[in-house]
A and B are shown apart, each in its own frame.
Chain A
Amino acid sequence: MINCIRYWRRQLVKGVLAATLLIWLPPQLLTNCGPFDNGFSGYSFFEPEVWVQERAFLPFYLGIDDAYKYYQSVEARKTQYNVREWTERVCREAEPEDVYFLVYKAPLTDIQMLQSATTSRKLPVPLRLQGNSFAEFLYAQRCVETIDYLAFAKKCEPHVVALNPWSVPRRDTVAMLALIAEGRKAFLKTRSDYMRLRYAYQIVRLAHYAGQYQRVLDLYDYLMPKIDPDRARLHTSLLPWWILGHKAGALRALGQRVLASYLFARIFLNCPSRRESAYRSFDIRTDEEWQQCYALCQDDRERATLYAIRGSTPDSRALEEMKQIYTLWPQGPYLEMLLAKELRELERDLLGLAFNDQAEQNKRRYDIPRDQAGAYAIELEQFVRQVLKDGYVPHLSFWHMAVGYLQLLRGDYYAAAKTFEQVAPKLSQPQLSEQIQAMQWALRISSIVELTPEIENEIFQFVRTDPIYRKYPDFADFIADKMAWLYQREGHPGLAFLCHHPWRDLRYDPKMELVEDILNAARNPRSRFVRWLTSDADGRSLETAMLDMKATLYLQQNQLEAAWQVYQEIPRSEWDALLQVEPFVVSFKERVNVPLSLDSTNMYNRGELIQALMDLNFEIRATPERNARQYFQLGVAWYNMTYFGQAWRALDYYRSGASWRRLWQTQLFPVPGRKGVFNREYTDCTRALAYFEKARLQARSRESQAKAAFMAARCERNMYFTSTDYQPPPCANCIPVLPEEYTTHFQLLKSHYADTKFYQQAIKECSWFAAYARK
């Protein structure tokens, strides 16, 4: 016994420590959710994709880590750009999927067969390439150089694709060097400048992946001047940038970080398909290196690019970079990109901060909002206004919208409303107009300080009919949180509850304050919103349900008159539908969910039950000395209405068997799947015990006395289960050993009533009592 106590106390200590650790540890350590975890709980109505023109910047304002979401599209886009260039340069008639197949999928043997066929003219297009419009075109036009190049590229492919990560990364440098030599020869033989460009790409790439970094630089310097830029139309091709990327990589590997970073910046500026990798490869470490890199820039666009890269890191305070970029290249795409990024960050910081019910969690887990978010929003707005005023940037509507949204975020609702009114008429695209509408609604909801029926009806109308509500899913939470906050402030805790929970959630742990508030609102709904809020899913008023709950709360406190008065307000015809229990049936079998008798006269609805209890109390008062039967009946009713009896629904709406093992710790249990909702079990047997004791003392027959003592013993047993003294037995079916202080009535039965028929029956029918009687 003592060891049991020690053991379970140790478990308790461990549990408390573990719980403390769980609270103390940052959830990143607990959830381990990797790149997809977005546990921040807030709202967003700003859609950067709608405003920012250059989609290749998506990863930058979403945050590079969120680029996982766009991984496929980035990779696919690289291939897409290449296929597009092949189509534009070589054969406009070819289907892109055919180009893709020939360039990326067709095996070397098929290309070689196409080579032979094209050269001989007697052989047809190889069988597997027949029907491929690109292959057919090359064959028909005798594009020998192109096919030769494709064959060479296929040979290079195994050496330049991403290695199996499970292999030791070794490349066959001998074979790669041989291919470089072959490529050089072919390069010099080729007359087409565009194909030369393609060869240069393959050759430089081979050298880079072979780890021959100096050779990369030498090859670059050797090959690129031999390509006529006009004939190759370098200015419209991806390939010069791809080749430059390899040169930059080689420079970086050789320790020439500054020059490499400069080249990566140029790639970032000019080549969308390599923008992300250029960003990741940019590597400046000191102020001196920054100055050196800056000095390499040839024009303001390049200088602006350095700032754009610097400002694109997820935690940057990009206003500093934006100011620099504005002086250098205001017409460029960077300002929009960084403004979008900053707006998103500030939206997370500030939107709905006052009423977000997860604000505390956001701060604790994610440090959102940032400390100076409000001041930063003001600073950013000042800059945006200046830019707008100067008018040098393209897409002024975006900047204008940004002013309005920043005003909204920092709480200047009047100014924001004015701004949005000015912006809206200037927008011709439906998507942009919808954005403004959404922001105006966010503004409208944010700016509400007090609820009136008119405002409630306005919200109701918006929720029910406006397509903007459906288009922006965050409105549901936004409105619910704001309304709940307002209702709570205005002394309507019940309505606040209903904003976040379905009414049935109140049943887990009803509270008078909430019930009365909802009842009053349901009786006299002041607006369509309140009527909707205080109706169930079928549109029926919650009045009856609340009356029922109110009566139940009174009943729990044994305030029978008050419970009766409330219940009279419910039409009698509805009483049966609300509850049917058998509170007065007593049995050796203890069941909680199955009726003990099949006799319907034992069934009571709640109103009848209240009345019956009142009658019993009246009888007791009327005949003070002969009330054993009434006391016993009351004891049985109050016992059966607890967690342990079959009439538990009289006092509670939800009972969980899983609560049993922890009743000694708490009566309040989280409801699975219902955030912030707790179920209270009604376990108090003291009232029943008092009645049984009175019944025993007043009973004349010893059989009745024994019966009352038996029921009192049951109460004591349950009181042990719900006390901190409780030690769970080692197995589910084991009968726990009761401490002496909880066996008063069992002892009494044994010592005083062992000769009664009831006692004998109890021993036979009740295994618990039989076990105790044996001790």
Chain B
Amino acid sequence: MHLIAKVTFAVWLGLSSVAFYGCQSDVQPRLALYHWQGQWAPNEAMRTWAEGLGPTWWYVRFFDLDLSADGRDVEPISQLSWTAPLPDTLAAVVFITTRALEVVPQHTLATLASRMYRLLDTMAQAAGVQLAEVQLDCDWTPSLRAKYFKLLSAFQQILSPHIVLSATIRLHQVKWAARTGVPPVDKGMLMVYHTGDVRRRGVRNAILQTEVLKQYLYGFDTYPLPLDVVWPLFSWGVLWREGRFIRLISPLSAQDLADSSRFASSDKLHFSVRRATWLKGYYLYSGDSIRLERVPFDTLQQAAAILADALARTPTRVAFYHFDTTVPQLWTHDQLYQILETTAR
């Protein structure tokens, strides 16, 4: 009996090890989606598409932190409202404007963190959801680093141990981590977009260009934070008038600009306005020009392959920004999963 027990234990140990190490090499990151609109109200097509995607992690923007109307204080704006049930478990995202961070006095950051968390918690309870993660999204600069990190540290103190604290990380913040610092969070969400200056006329695609992406891929091997990755699904039109950048029109597709009586096209991406017209709530004048930007699937795949080589660790989540009415029309489940697999390679 004693011998049988020993043999049984040894077999069990061996099988467990094989299973464990075998699984380690096959761990797939989880697919995630960002929701960024002010209201959670997915239509039928969106719901069906999302359900067909399989188990999905959700990052839902709960509110922005910005200046108050009189410019003297900071307050939450664009609070999320919902007309449909939210996912049971999600990551609540707060977008913080840099101008808000500039205004907040250093000594009130702990209080601010506390108020922010209380609001998040209240909203989560009202929505009947469980907060598994809180993510702060702020494009901090070196001059705001101290304040932002202090805010994050204050959050760490407040959050329950089971709630993960994460922060969005831009490409330049990894490359120049010595200057920008590494935020004191549990993990980072690497935003692989906004590689170009949208206001520059010569830029081909300010959302993502692989040649530009390559220039940022330094320091990933030594970056101390575990990083998840988020890819762009969005598109926009960059509106120019008399040589000046006016605004972004988003979402925008070539279909929106297909009317040749209103728009002339020099190529698939550049359009001029033939006659004054309304487009998505903006009035355009004759002579205005639009540069259409989106990242096609092939480019995302290419970028994913490039990034996969640079990442030190396989991300636990590969996310896509952001889920709106256009996503079911323009993207298939397969495409998202292919990008996920390439990223996790």
Residues of A whose CB lies within 8 Å of any CB of B are 14, 17-18, 21, 24-26, 29-30, 32-36, 68, 71-72, 165-170, 283-287, 289-290, 310, 313, 315-317, 320, 367-368, 370-373, 376
Q: Which of A18, A33, A285, A371 contacts B99 (CB 8 A)?
A: A33
Of B11-19, B67-75, B181-189, B330-338, the segment with at least 4 beta carbons within 8 Å of chain A is B67-75
What CA separation (Å) do A32 and B97 show in the bound complex? 9
Q: Is B76 an interface residue (CB 8 A)?
A: yes
Is the CB–CB distance between A287 and B278 below 8 Å?
yes
Known: A21-B172, A315-B246. 5 other contacts (CB 8 A): A33-B102, A34-B67, A285-B280, A285-B281, A316-B283
What CA separation (Å) do A285 and B252 show in the bound complex? 13
Is the CB–CB distance between A68 and B278 below 8 Å?
no
- Nearest 10 interchain pairs by C-beta: A371-B243, A34-B99, A367-B244, A370-B242, A165-B75, A32-B98, A285-B281, A371-B242, A372-B242, A168-B122
Is the CB–CB distance between B75 and A166 below 8 Å?
yes
Q: Is B119 an interface residue (CB 8 A)?
A: yes
What CA separation (Å) do A17 and B218 show in the bound complex? 13
Give 25 A-B contacts (CB < 8 Å), ordered by A residue.
Answer: A17-B176, A18-B176, A24-B197, A32-B144, A34-B102, A34-B103, A68-B69, A71-B70, A165-B76, A165-B79, A166-B76, A168-B79, A169-B81, A284-B281, A287-B278, A289-B278, A290-B278, A315-B241, A315-B246, A317-B285, A367-B245, A368-B244, A370-B242, A370-B243, A372-B243
Residues of the A chain whose Cβ atoms lie less than 8 Å from the Cβ of B119: 166-168
Is the CB–CB distance between A68 and B70 below 8 Å?
yes
What CA separation (Å) do A169 and B283 show in the bound complex? 33
Residues of the B chain whose Cβ atoms lie less than 8 Å from the Cβ of A167: 119, 122
Is the CB–CB distance between B141 and A32 below 8 Å?
yes
Is the CB–CB distance between B178 and A14 below 8 Å?
yes
Q: Is B313 an interface residue (CB 8 A)?
A: no
The smallest C-beta distance from B282 to any residue of chain A, in angstroms, reads 8
| Residues in B323-343 with C-beta less than 8 Å from chain A | none
Residues of the B chain whose Cβ atoms lie less than 8 Å from the Cβ of A25: 197
Chain A minimum-CB-distance residue to B277? A287
What CA separation (Å) do A30 and B98 show in the bound complex? 10
Is the CB–CB distance between A26 and B197 below 8 Å?
yes
What CA separation (Å) do A68 and B279 show in the bound complex? 28
What CA separation (Å) do A371 and B144 show in the bound complex? 35
Is the CB–CB distance between A35 and B67 below 8 Å?
yes
Mask for B276-303, Cβ within 8 A of A = 1, else 0? 1111110101000000000000000000
What CA separation (Å) do A425 and B92 show in the bound complex? 66
Residues of B whose CB lies within 8 Å of any CB of A are 67-71, 75-77, 79, 81, 98-99, 102-103, 115, 118-119, 122-123, 126, 139, 141, 144, 172, 176, 178-179, 197, 199, 241-247, 276-281, 283, 285
Q: Which of A17, A26, A32, A283 contacts B281 (CB 8 A)?
A: A283
Chain B minimum-CB-distance residue to A69? B71
Residues of the B chain whose Cβ atoms lie less than 8 Å from the Cβ of A283: 281
The smallest C-beta distance from A33 to any residue of chain B, in angstroms, reads 7
Residues of the B chain whose Cβ atoms lie less than 8 Å from the Cβ of A371: 242-244
Residues of the A chain whose Cβ atoms lie less than 8 Å from the Cβ of B69: 68, 71
Is the CB–CB distance between A370 and B283 below 8 Å?
no
Is the CB–CB distance between A320 and B285 below 8 Å?
yes
Chain A minimum-CB-distance residue to B287? A372
What CA separation (Å) do A265 and B199 show in the bound complex? 33
Instruction: Give the interface centre of A169, A285, A315, A316 by most chain B CB atoms within 10 Å.
Output: A315
Is the CB–CB distance between A68 and B276 below 8 Å?
no
Q: Which of A26, A30, A71, A370 contacts B141 (CB 8 A)?
A: A30
Chain B minimum-CB-distance residue to A321? B283
Chain B minimum-CB-distance residue to A318? B285
What CA separation (Å) do A268 and B3 show in the bound complex? 92
Chain B minimum-CB-distance residue to A26? B199
Is the CB–CB distance between B115 and A310 below 8 Å?
no
Residues of the A chain whose Cβ atoms lie less than 8 Å from the Cβ of B99: 32-35
Is the CB–CB distance between B77 and A165 below 8 Å?
yes
Residues of the B chain whose Cβ atoms lie less than 8 Å from the Cβ of A17: 176
Is the CB–CB distance between A34 and B277 below 8 Å?
no
Q: Which of B70, B179, B243, B246 contacts A72 (CB 8 A)?
A: B70
Is the CB–CB distance between B243 and A14 below 8 Å?
no
What CA separation (Å) do A368 and B245 show in the bound complex? 11
What CA separation (Å) do A35 and B72 show in the bound complex? 11
The smallest C-beta distance from B34 to any residue of chain A, in angstroms, reads 22
Residues of the B chain whose Cβ atoms lie less than 8 Å from the Cβ of A316: 283, 285
What CA separation (Å) do A373 and B242 show in the bound complex? 8
What CA separation (Å) do A283 and B67 show in the bound complex? 24
What CA separation (Å) do A26 and B280 show in the bound complex? 27
Residues of the A chain whose Cβ atoms lie less than 8 Å from the Cβ of B172: 21
What CA separation (Å) do A17 and B179 show in the bound complex? 11
The smallest C-beta distance from B100 to any residue of chain A, in angstroms, reads 8
The smallest C-beta distance from A389 to any residue of chain B, in angstroms, reads 26
Residues of the B chain whose Cβ atoms lie less than 8 Å from the Cβ of A376: 242
Is the CB–CB distance between A34 and B71 below 8 Å?
yes
Residues of the A chain whose Cβ atoms lie less than 8 Å from the Cβ of B280: 285
Q: Which of A21, A35, A285 contacts B71 (CB 8 A)?
A: A35
Is the CB–CB distance between B278 and A286 below 8 Å?
yes
Chain A minimum-CB-distance residue to B198? A26
Residues of the B chain whose Cβ atoms lie less than 8 Å from the Cβ of A34: 67, 71, 99, 102-103
What CA separation (Å) do A372 and B197 show in the bound complex? 23
Residues of the B chain whose Cβ atoms lie less than 8 Å from the Cβ of A367: 243-245
Is the CB–CB distance between A168 and B242 below 8 Å?
no
Residues of the A chain whose Cβ atoms lie less than 8 Å from the Cβ of B246: 315
Residues of the A chain whose Cβ atoms lie less than 8 Å from the Cβ of B139: 29
Residues of the A chain whose Cβ atoms lie less than 8 Å from the Cβ of B243: 367, 370-372
The smallest C-beta distance from B105 to any residue of chain A, in angstroms, reads 16
Is the CB–CB distance between A168 and B283 below 8 Å?
no
What CA separation (Å) do A90 and B203 show in the bound complex? 64
Q: Given the known A-B contacts A36-B71, A71-B70, A168-B119, are A18 and B179 also in contact in the complex, defined by CB atoms under 8 Å?
A: yes
Chain B minimum-CB-distance residue to A291? B278
What CA separation (Å) do A370 and B77 show in the bound complex? 33
Residues of the A chain whose Cβ atoms lie less than 8 Å from the Cβ of B122: 167-168
What CA separation (Å) do A287 and B281 show in the bound complex? 9
Chain A minimum-CB-distance residue to B67? A34
The smallest C-beta distance from A369 to any residue of chain B, in angstroms, reads 9
What CA separation (Å) do A170 and B280 show in the bound complex? 31
Residues of the A chain whose Cβ atoms lie less than 8 Å from the Cβ of B141: 29-30, 32
Residues of the B chain whose Cβ atoms lie less than 8 Å from the Cβ of A290: 278
Is the CB–CB distance between B123 and A168 below 8 Å?
yes
Residues of the B chain whose Cβ atoms lie less than 8 Å from the Cβ of A368: 244
The smallest C-beta distance from A515 to any residue of chain B, in angstroms, reads 39
Chain A minimum-CB-distance residue to B71? A68
What CA separation (Å) do A168 and B62 show in the bound complex? 11
Chain A minimum-CB-distance residue to B70? A71
Residues of the B chain whose Cβ atoms lie less than 8 Å from the Cβ of A289: 278
Instruction: Give the interface centre of B70, B75, B278 by most chain A CB atoms within 10 Å.
Output: B278
Is the CB–CB distance between B278 and A170 below 8 Å?
no
What CA separation (Å) do A36 and B118 show in the bound complex? 30
Is the CB–CB distance between B70 and A320 below 8 Å?
no
What CA separation (Å) do A722 and B246 show in the bound complex? 48
Residues of the B chain whose Cβ atoms lie less than 8 Å from the Cβ of A72: 70
The smallest C-beta distance from A252 to any residue of chain B, in angstroms, reads 13
What CA separation (Å) do A68 and B99 show in the bound complex? 14
Is the CB–CB distance between B244 and A370 below 8 Å?
yes
What CA separation (Å) do A338 and B172 show in the bound complex? 43
Residues of the B chain whose Cβ atoms lie less than 8 Å from the Cβ of A68: 69-71
Chain A minimum-CB-distance residue to B116? A166
Chain A minimum-CB-distance residue to B276? A320
Residues of the A chain whose Cβ atoms lie less than 8 Å from the Cβ of B176: 14, 17-18, 21
Chain B minimum-CB-distance residue to A35? B71
The smallest C-beta distance from A360 to any residue of chain B, in angstroms, reads 15
Residues of the A chain whose Cβ atoms lie less than 8 Å from the Cβ of B70: 68, 71-72
Residues of the B chain whose Cβ atoms lie less than 8 Å from the Cβ of A33: 99, 102
The smallest C-beta distance from A245 to any residue of chain B, in angstroms, reads 18
Is the CB–CB distance between A168 and B126 below 8 Å?
yes
Residues of the A chain whose Cβ atoms lie less than 8 Å from the Cβ of B123: 168
The smallest C-beta distance from A168 to any residue of chain B, in angstroms, reads 5
Chain B minimum-CB-distance residue to A285? B281
